[in-house]
Amino acid sequence: MTWVIHILNGIAFGMLLFLLAAGLSLIYGLMKILNLTHGSFYLVGGYIGLTVMQRTGSFVLALVVAVAAVALVGAAIERFFLRRFHLDELPQTLLTFGFLFIFADLSLWIWGGNPLMLNMPEIFQHSMPMGYYAYPVYRLFLIAIGLVVAGGLWWFQEHTRIGTMLRAGVDDAEIARALGINVSLLFTLIFAVGAGLAALAGVLAGPVLSLYPGADFEVLIFAFVVVIVGGLGSLRGALAGALLIGILDDFGKAFFPEFALFTVFVPMAVILVIRPTGLFGRR
Amino acid sequence: MTARAWTIIGCFAVLALLFMLPEVLRPYYLALVTKMLIFALFAMSLDLLLGYTGLASLGHAAYFGVAAYTIALLIVRAGVDSGLAFPVALVAAAATGALFAPLALRARGSYFLMITFALAQVVWSVAFGWRSLTNGDDGIPDVVRPDFGWSLDSTTSFYYFVLAIVGLATLLLVAIVGSPFGRALRGIRESESRMQALGYNVWRYQYVAFVLAAAFAGIAGALYAYYNRFVGPEYLYVVQSAEALIMVILGGAGTLIGPAIGAGLIVFLEDFVSSMTAHWVLVLGIIYVLVTLFAPRGLIGLVDQLRQRRVKP
Amino acid sequence: MTTKKMALITIVTASFAAMIVAAPRPAWAADPIKIGILLPLSGNFAENGQQTLTGLKMYFDEVGNKAGDRPLTLIVEDTQGKPDVAVTKARKLVQGDGVAVLTGVVTSGEAIAVNAFSRDNKVPLVLSGDAGADELTMPGPLANPYLVRTSQNGRSVASAAADWAYHKGWRKVATVGSDYAGGVDVNFAFAQAFCKLGGKVIQAEWPPIGTADFGPYLTNLDRTADAVVTFEPGADGLRLARQYSEFGLKGKLPVMDIYGGLVFESNLPQLGDATLGFYSSLFYTPMLKTPENERFVAEFQKRMNQLPANEGPNGYVGAHAVVDAIKAVNGDLSDTMKFIAALKAVKFDSPKGEISLDKYGQVIQTMYIREVQMVNGQPANVPIASYPHVDQFWPYTEAEFESFKYTYKDSKNSLTDCARLLAKK
């Protein structure tokens, strides 16, 4: 039974990582931007969700408002700032690093330094008995929502017009532009979607992981690890990487506690040495 | 006068100024300038990779930290003479670079960035987790400064020591980037395939540049261990690597003076602004954004822009 | 080339010029005494820094920023929670601003680095923040004649928890301890004291600091234990508290929370009844019914809009000690050792209880065992037992403590081995 619980834990954590990594990976795949502000989108999204939840008591409303607000902020950052430095890596890095600082300080200012926890919706507040153990229902909900989002993204990518444009853009932005695709709009849209996914992860993680200064950087590192392992720019890679890292993290801590600090970084280094572009990445 | 003459006069002016600083600065500010010099060297060493070879590393703190820890462990744990520990630390940093380079150089672009990050995090985990050796996050205090029959305990003497070492290292770096080897690196940055076609062993050039960058970062790390008389795992953390990257970009990659200025400016701003307001993080963030908007090629690029604007009409 | 170099030279010259300040002049008796405060006000430890600062300022305000007839000037510097920055700021305060005393300091890493600075530069350092590394105030490599610590240390809180746990009837416990130097320090002290009484740690888990998910640790917990003993500060504590009840352990395995990281005052209202019945040990609780504390809590709530945990009272007590010592030497700090002696001699009643210092400068104070109970419909840490006058070597004498063979540094993997923990040199 403990095995089942460990695997469920790993998948639930992996799903949160997937939401984060999917956005990071999409943005990189299309625009070649290594977005250091991604963790801030997660944290600010979580905090906004928290405030909405405290004011209205509605978890759904918290999700909607947080995702919408952060997606808007993301779109603005892309349109007014990153846009100017298309394919110019160094200024983009400096810029996203600057925003990381700005959001970190603003959220410390607004929400304070104590760790804050979102209340989870009433229906998920109990645990499912499993033999001698119990398993929190909320985590099953996390797994479900992760699967739904993964399915939705896949459908979006494969079966919608924007998805086709996206794939064309990832393959070669110049050709896509030549084909008459409005690449400029696509960039803003995808950046907003990526930011929104990070905010979604923030609100969903709020009741489990809590929100606090520094969480932005911690999850950024985790998201990095996932996309490194999975391969940049690939949705499949983000999902596979997230599940792998989620499960490795859980099993490593449970069965090799001595090496808990290494359970994530060593496999990552090993994978990179064997496959420098990650599991599903292209050169 | 020729441009060359101006350059020489400029260098002498800066040098003379640096020499006279202890006369005019209060000890605290002299110590701050010492820190600027150390980070200037750290940023320049990273620029050898980023600006000259075109390889953006997010793990440069590894070599900085390995050298610092080597100094601390040798002095505090093994009782080795402080001056003797210095060359050993450089070898340790270079060796770490030599070990990591073959792994990192399999990748390019953002993957290179990430693999260097991953490797550095492994080193950090060791420093953080191997408590019986490193004291974990408590760090190792009581790192003694070298004594060459001339104590470096005073702020002024240590400043001159750092000035001499950083000066020498800078001269070496200038020589390296000006040599045929340095020109080959720039060629590789512009086009690997062309250099390959011209018969250059690109991988070997990159490998040597990687190890050299690690060694120079090691000098900075060793000096920083002496400077604070203390080492801790923060020296190896990704934040330190990112800060070095930002120093280079802010100052302007692809020159030596740019990263040095970027480093000095960031060290100064962090200290200065954080004494004014607890919201220095916000101020620094806004500065980064503004610099990107108005000087996307870094401060050096800005100087170039202004000059071109003046020359054109 | 020319303009570029010229511009650079101008930049360099200008920034140096900005740093040149007139040389300091000799101090006059009526001049204010400058007190340097080193606290993290940005970054992950900003809240710890802010609460300590509030405590410090509350006392200084209470005495009108005066010690006797000497006015006091406070200069606050942000250490960012980084040891190297803390040293740089200490240097600025001492060499740049000319402060006479350093105080504050939150992380142990910062404390160890600043401690070396204080010793080398002969500057009094009054640790009034969280920094709890035991070794700082013990004979050994970190010993510093210029240091006193009025705040806390790791061992005392852990030892009180062990004593109470044993007398509660627990004999076998599992520990969940944050895997960093301070975490090992605290858990080692607990295990050693618990072994000495006749109990035993049967399982020791070490989640890394910043553990997002305690699921694997909770699932692995040995269910035959009498209780779980935790030490998880910050966000880790909040997460563990919530996940503990989610995984159905609440009510099955009682919890003794050393230092109260799970039941931290700002956590309680967020956790509802999830921590009801959790025991914890600390040198303070806002629920203490003494006049000093009730006045303190009211004023702290006015300033911070929340209940104080350990940082606020620690800052307040640190400021009190500094002011009393300055008064004792009549405002003359020229003889540093005399000032340090005056610091070590302070004795007063505080929100934490009675405060005095031992010869090494470590605070001797009361340890409280608390239990989370509903008070006026809100969960609160109600004191249920207390250990007055706990010194840093308790429950051993100094000689007995020094006779143990192993220290925490080589004991992370042997908490379950009582014979080794109690081995003598």
A178 vs B191, more confident: B191
In a domain, A41, yes or no: yes
Residues of chain C contacting residue B228, judged by C-beta atoms under 8 Å apart: 83-84, 87-88, 113
**CA-to-CA separations, A19 to A155, A194, C2, in angstroms, rounded:** 16, 9, 52
Contact in structure between A21 and A244 (CB atoms under 8 Å): no
DSSP line for B47-82:
HIIIIII----S-THHHHHHHHHHHHIIIIIT---H
Q: What is the CA radius of gyration of chain A?
A: 19
SS3 string, B249-288, reads HHHCCCCCHHHHHHHHHHHHHHHHHHHHCCCHHHHHHHHH
Q: Do A136 and C220 touch (CB under 8 A)?
A: no
Which chain C residues are closer than 8 Å to A114 by Cβ?
A: 47, 266, 306
Tell me how long chain B is: 313
Cβ contact B21–C141 (<8 Å): no
pLDDT for B239-255, tens place per residue?
Answer: 899 899 999 999 999 99
Inter-residue contact C30 to C271 (CB < 8 Å): no
Residues C216 and C356 in one domain: no
Percent of chain C at pLDDT above 70?
93
Q: Looking at the structure, tell me whether residues C52 and C97 fall in a common domain.
A: yes
Query: C315 - beta bridge partners?
Result: none
| Res. B276: pLDDT tops 90 | no
How many C-beta neighbours within 10 Å does residue A255 have? 13
**Residues contacting B191, CB < 8 A, separation 6+:** none
The residue-averaged pLDDT of A137-165 equals 91
- Closest of C52, C221, A93, A24 to residue B296, by C-alpha: A93
Contact in structure between C296 and C320 (CB atoms under 8 Å): no
Does one domain contain both C262 and C376? yes
Q: Which of A17, A114, A259, A265 to mutate to test the interface with C (most CBs of C within 10 A)?
A: A114
Average pLDDT, chain B: 90
Q: What is the mean pLDDT of residues B293-309?
A: 83
CB C270 within 8 A of CB A116: yes
pLDDT at B294 over 60: yes
Contact check, Cβ <8 Å, C1/B128: no
> Residues in chain A whose beta carbon is closer than 8 A to a beta carbon of chain C?
2, 5-6, 9, 12-13, 105, 108, 112-117, 119, 127, 129, 132-136, 138-139, 207-210, 212-215, 218, 222, 249-251, 253-254, 257-258, 260-261
Contact C133, C182 (CB under 8 A): yes
CA-closest candidate to residue C83, choices C31, C25, C124, C43: C43
Alpha carbon distances (Å) from C80 to C39, C48, C109: 7, 11, 12
Residue whose structure tokens are 């995702």: A67
Asked if C78 lies within 8 A of B300 by C-beta distance, the reply is no
Amino acid at C99: V
Domain span at residue A263?
2-274
Q: Which residue has the higher pLDDT, C190 or B21?
A: C190
Please tell me whether residue A27 adopts helix, strand or coil conformation.
helix
Stated pTM of the model:
0.90
**By the 8 A CB rule, do B206 and B55 touch?**
yes
Instruction: Kindly provide the ipTM of the predicted complex, given to two decimals.
Output: 0.90
Burial of C300 (0-12, 13-18, 19+ CB in 10 A): buried
Q: What is the rounded CA–CA span in Å between residue A123 and residue B223?
A: 58
Which of A88-102, A208-222, A260-274, C112-126 bottoms out in mean pLDDT, i.e. has the lowest?
A260-274
Say whether C213 and A250 touch across the interface (CB within 8 A).
yes
Residue A283 within a domain: no
Alpha-carbon torsion (C144, C147, C150, C154), positive or negative: negative
Token pair belonging to C252: 């099955």
The answer to whether the beta carbons of residues C256 and C344 sit under 8 Å apart is no
Chain B residues whose beta carbon lies within 8 Å of the beta carbon of residue A108: 281
Amino acid making up residue B176: I
For residue C8 the two structure tokens come to 């650079």
**Tokens in use for A231?**
């391969």
The domain tally of chain A equals 1
- Residue A93's pLDDT is 85
Q: CA–CA separation, B288 vs B275, rounded Å?
A: 19
Instruction: Compute the CA torsion angle B39, C78, C23, C332 (nearest 10 deg).
Output: -140
How is residue C130 written in tokens? 């969280």
CB–CB of B68/B221 below 8 Å? yes
**What is the structure's pLDDT at A67?**
97
Indicate the Cα dihedral angle B38, B41, B45, B50, nearest 10°. Answer: 100
Q: How many CA atoms lie within 13 A of B37 on its CB side?
A: 28
Strand partners, B231: B140
Where helices occur in C63-180 by DSSP H, the ranges are: 83-91, 108-121, 154-167
Beta strands (DSSP E) in A148-222 are: none
Domain co-membership, C353 together with C334 = yes
Is A241 inside any structural domain?
Answer: yes
Q: What is the CATH number of the domain that holds C216?
A: 3.40.50.2300
Q: Is-contact C177 C187, C-beta < 8 A?
A: yes
Same domain, yes or no: C177 and C270: yes
Lowest mean pLDDT among A205-209, B113-117, C86-90: B113-117
Measured at the CA of A278, the angle between CA B102 and CA A166, to 5 degrees, comes to 135
Instruction: Tell which residue, A281, C97, C165, has the closest CA to residue B106.
Output: A281
Residue C4 lies in a domain: no
Contacts of C69 (CB under 8 A, 6+ apart): C331
Identity of the residue in B129, B249, B286 whose CB atom sits nearest the CB atom of A102: B286
Query: How far apart (Å, rounded) are the C-alpha atoms in residues C276 and B301?
Result: 61
CA angle C309, C285, C44 (to 5 degrees): 15
DSSP state of C262: S
CA end-to-end span of chain C:
70
- E strands of C111-268, at which residues? 125-127, 147-149, 172-177, 200-205, 227-231, 255-258
User: Between B4, B27, B281, which is nearest C42 by CB?
Assistant: B281
Q: What is the pLDDT of residues A208-230, one digit of tens each?
A: 889 999 899 889 988 988 988 88
**Tokens describing residue A49:** 């969700």
- Tell me if A134 and C247 make a contact (CB, 8 A cut-off): yes
Whether C108 and C241 share a structural domain: no
Contact of C220 with chain A, judged by CB distance below 8 Å, is answered with: yes
Residues of B with CB under 8 A from a CB of A: 56, 103, 106-108, 110-111, 113-115, 117-119, 121-122, 125, 128-129, 238-239, 242, 245-246, 249-250, 253, 279, 281-282, 284-289, 291-293, 296-297
Q: For chain B, state the CA radius of gyration.
A: 20
- What residues contact residue C67 under an 8 Å CB cut-off, 6+ apart? C33, C322, C323, C326, C327, C331
What's the distance, CA C10 to chain centroid? 46
What whole-number distance in Å separates Cα of residue A34 and Cα of residue A89? Answer: 8
CA pair distance C373, C383, nearest whole angstrom: 10
E-strand ranges in chain A read 127-130, 133-136
DSSP C271-311: HTTTTTT-EEEES--TT---HHHHHHHHHHHHHHSS---SH
Instruction: Please indicate, yes or no, whether residues C382 and C348 belong to a single structural domain of this protein.
Output: no
CB-CB neighbours of A180 under 10 Å: 8
Chain C residue whose CA is closest to B14: C9
Cβ atoms A51, A179 nearer than 8 A: no
pLDDT score at C369: 97
Return d(Cα C151, Cα C260) in angstroms, integer. Answer: 15
Mark whether C67 and C148 lie in a shared domain: yes
Would you say residue C22 lies in a domain?
A: no
Considering CB atoms only, which of B14, B28, B129 is closest to C92?
B28
pLDDT tens digits for chain C (425 residues)?
445 555 555 555 555 555 554 344 444 556 899 999 999 998 889 999 999 999 999 999 999 999 988 999 999 999 998 999 999 999 999 988 999 999 999 999 999 999 999 999 999 999 999 998 999 999 988 999 999 999 999 999 999 999 999 999 999 999 999 988 889 999 999 999 999 999 999 999 998 887 878 888 898 899 999 999 999 998 899 999 998 988 888 888 999 999 999 999 999 999 988 999 999 999 999 999 999 999 999 999 999 999 999 999 999 999 999 999 999 999 999 999 999 999 999 999 999 999 999 999 999 999 999 999 999 999 999 999 999 999 999 999 999 999 999 888 788 888 999 999 999 98
Q: Where are the beta strands (DSSP E) in C226-344?
A: 227-231, 255-258, 279-282
Residue C133 shares a structural domain with residue C46: yes
Count of the separate structural domains present in chain C = 2
Query: A9 in the Ramachandran plot: left (φ > 0), alpha (ψ -120 to 50) or beta?
Result: alpha
Residue A89 at interface with chain B, using a CB cutoff of 8 Å:
yes
Nearest Cα of chain B lies from the Cα of C292 at a distance, in angstroms, of: 31
> Any idea what DSSP says for residue B308?
H
Q: How far apart are the first and last CA of chain A?
A: 42
Residues C262, C409: one domain?
yes
Choose the weakest-confidence range: A30-44, A102-116, B126-140.
Answer: B126-140
Q: Would you state the pLDDT for residue C17?
A: 54
Report yes or no on A281 lying in a domain. Answer: no
CA B41 to chain centre: 4
Give the distance, in angstroms, between the CA of residue B270 and the centroid of all CA atoms in the same chain.
17
What is the rounded end-to-end Cα distance, in angstroms, of chain B?
Answer: 22
Taking only the tens place, the pLDDT of each residue in B159-202 is 999 999 999 999 999 999 999 999 999 999 998 889 988 889 99
> What pLDDT sits at residue C11?
56
Please report, for chain B, the start and end positions of each structural domain, with discontinuous segments joined by +. Answer: 24-237
C254 with C381, same domain: the answer is yes
- Which among A164-168, A252-256, B63-67 has the top mean pLDDT? B63-67
What integer pLDDT is reported at residue C22 of this predicted model? Answer: 39
Structural domain harbouring C238: 155-282+366-389+397-421
Q: Are residues C198 and C81 in the same domain?
A: no
Tell which residue, B28, B150, B136, has the closest CA to residue B82: B150
